Copies of this chain bind each other. A is one copy, B any other.
Amino acid sequence: MNYDPGDLIKIKTKDKVYKGIYIPQKGNSLVIKLESGYNIGIDKKKIKKIDLVKKHKKTKKKTKEIKQNKKLPTISILHTGGTIASKVDYRTGAVHAEFSPEELLKMFPELKDIANIKSRLIFQMFSEDMEPEHWEILAKEVKKEIKKKVDGIIITHGTDTMHYTSAALSFMLQNLPVPLLLVGAQRSSDRGSSDASLNLINASYFISKTNFRGIAICMHENTEDTSCLILPGTKTRKMHTSRRDAFKPINDVPIAKVDYKKKLIENIKKIKENKEKFKSSISFEKNIALIKIRPGFSYKELEFYKNYKGIIFEGTGLGHLAVSVLDKHTKEHKKTLEMIKKLSKKMPIFMTSQCIFGRVDMNVYSSGRDLQEGGVVPLEDMLPETAYVKLGWLLSFEKNQEKIKELMLKNIAGEITERTQANEFL
């Protein structure tokens, strides 16, 4: 092979010619990054010819010392990987550690007028590969930064599971003395339409100016490249596979809107003063399930989880699943209810809704009441993903079942909105 990672190459197959940057990958496909920013894999067997168009130039690493500006706050950026860091990942092959403060300031020069930037690489992974153990590591790294008395923390993160991580950190680290923002990108930094820069700069600007303390997500407000939203850590969800404004608050409003170019921070929620002492409880019980209900769901699927420690259902509508026996096609429903009763004696079982928006209410219809009598506890307007994370966290240190049910229904990190007249149908 006469080409290296980062080289611009031209690939000829029988019918087509592809031009793009070579990305080394195992497997039967040769992968290049097209000019559009998307990657394409071409079956190696179908390749007729490969030409080198332009050799990749390795930029020399100049470690110019960055001067600290004492008037500016200090922000610590913890990198975990994902699309926001993919410029480095793709262009240069696998040289991960280049995401240094120097490199960052070269990529995003606006940052140096906003804050003194410190930066550390924690992981280099796409977020779909993150496990609860990574949440624990990340929480411990955040604690270290807090001890160093930084003014704020940014975690760069893949977008796939960013809302799971933000929920996990929200429970593991309570009453944070600084703002912590998770920032991702839906388009990699080497694409014209990348949202990495705006999300990162707006996050830094927000941290430098706000009184907000706690954990939130900072992502595009809309498809225009102007403002970002600061979104609640336990009530946000990735609601689109590819749009830059994929992250939406669910059953809640954004904390604030930020547009650094206009020097604008608009608080949407009233920012409460944090008087409680910072506390951490960093552990997670992985033996828990998140089960999405559907027509055709069988009690046998439920039986599989009999040795688990807890279950979150993603029921239909107001929090239902099939438990009524009405005709010959619903006979198995009896077994489902029996199985739930059996399991609920051994582990806590909770209900959320696959509608995503709205609040569960298991008092309206008979199946909801049957399920409650069977031991299932409805979780108000909590997101299924947040409920899953909260349960795994609680079970890792609390063994009393009644206490767990009580704590699941207690608002700890903004995950439950109290039902009021005004938000009855929220």
Contacts and interface: CB of A to CB of B under 8 A. Distances in A.
Interface of A: 25, 27-29, 31, 38-41, 123-135, 158-161, 164, 223, 238-243, 246, 286, 288-296, 301, 304, 314-324, 326-327, 329-330, 333, 353, 355-361, 363-367, 369-370, 373, 385, 388, 392, 425
Contact of A164 (B294, B320, B324, B326): B294
Given A246-B355, A295-B164, A356-B356, A238 B290 contact: no
Contacts of A223: 425
A243 B41 contact: no
A128 B353 contact: no
A333 B316 CA distance: 30
B296 A132 contact: yes
Contacts of A131: 295-296, 322, 329-330
Contacts of A373: 27-29
Contacts of A319: 241
A324 B126 contact: yes
Oligomer copy total: 2
Contacts of A158: 317
A319 B242 CA distance: 11
A313 to B, nearest CB: 11
Nearest to A329: B133
A246 B323 CA distance: 24
Nearest to A372: B41
B129 A238 contact: no
A29 B296 contact: no
Contact of A290 (B129, B240, B294, B358): B294
A161 B321 CA distance: 10
